[in-house]
Structure 1
Amino acid sequence: MGVQGKRVPRAVREQQMLDAAVATFARRGYRAASMDEIAEAAGVSKPLVYLYLNSKDELFTACIRREADALKAAVRAAVEPDAPADRQLWSGLLGFFEHTAAHPDGWTVLYSQARTVGEPFAAEVAVMRAEIVAFVTGLIAAAARDADCEAADQSLADREVAALAHALVGAAESLAGWNAGTTGPGRPSGKESAATLMNFAWSGLDNLMTGHRWTPSR
């Protein structure tokens, strides 16, 4: 076969490099991972990695952006827009946990590596997280409207909805992080994790939306 027959399109080659980089960064960590390791895993020369992706920093940033975009797309695609409020939240959580379970290296890069290495990588993850929080805020706000849950002070109601969205996203991230560190037959599936968080969160949300609030006893 001639050289032309072996040529791989640039877009395909870049994805191969990103696949190798995500796996290497997840296994070794950003600081310990080397471009030599990544090139070897991708089956290309190190100069080719630099030619396509310029530097280790830019390669890591490209990995973060690709994995973040894939996660956001999975959550949005999973939500059933015309379903009841609890079904929408359930389907969004299911999309999140099934994606992170199917792409553990990508989640490790986002959750364990990018957030802890420092700037500018943490900022990249913060952008992704803000978009997911905004999306969940919209789901909770729509559910509250459907339940005719209106507060006299609408600004306070808005803050509360935003706080609930931050709490729910934080809980989902924490549970997905715990899942990633769990190996063997005891590791929960995406569906099991979504059900766990739904059972934890929905009863409280449902009570809030129908005006039944918990208050500390005196």
Structure 2
Amino acid sequence: MRPLHPVAPGTRSALGIAFFVLFVAFWAWITLGGHVNRIFLADPLSMLKDGWRLLVEDRFWLDILITIWRVFGGFVLASIVAVPIGIAMGAWKPVEAFLEPFVSFARYLPASAFIPLLILWAGIGEFEKLLVIFVGSVFQIILIVAVKVGSTRRDLVEAAYTLGATDNGIVKRVIMPANAPEIAETLRLVLGWAWTYVIVAELIGSSSGIGYMIINSQSRLATGQIIFGIIVIGLIGLLSD
């Protein structure tokens, strides 16, 4: 294998599928072969049976929809607030100097640390779950968008000024269009992180959602249901990517 040498699309797909096949085969071997106690790790067949039972008998699909709503609801709120602030920080250096120290500090604070406060402020309803997603996402989006906007090619900006563009016109017609793909990529990245925040929020003070099902299954040693819930999260993440 040559370093950095591209792989054909068909080969890439085959290699990706091969990994999953080998992973499931190894999982089946250690569980069905008796190498691991099934109390600690369910086998693939039992996991699928438990998952089907959850969907059909326990209406787990409702929990899935609730979790999806929480993720996208909180993420959209964070994006609406964060993207304009990030653009302002990247475009105008005084704004960056004013906000960057606080945003850099806040982005290191884990969203889970705010859950006790958010429960006190907003209760244990849906708004609290949305706030967890919001807090976990908003500062990450702001800083990444600011960095992307701040690295806009100077030659594009100077060319626009030469053609008579105003300061506001530079932002609207040069900076934003030039960075739209990068901003979209940032939102895609942070959306993946939002899934970790919602599961943490649902593990505490919740009566619905995928995270609630996982913690409820843990108390009953139902590892098949736990694994099924984890796989569902991964599949939804892939579909929303």
Q: TM-score range by the shorter chain?
A: under 0.3
Larger radius of gyration: 2
Higher RCO structure (Cα 8 Å, ≥6 apart)? 2
TM-score computed with the length of structure 2 as normaliser: 0.24
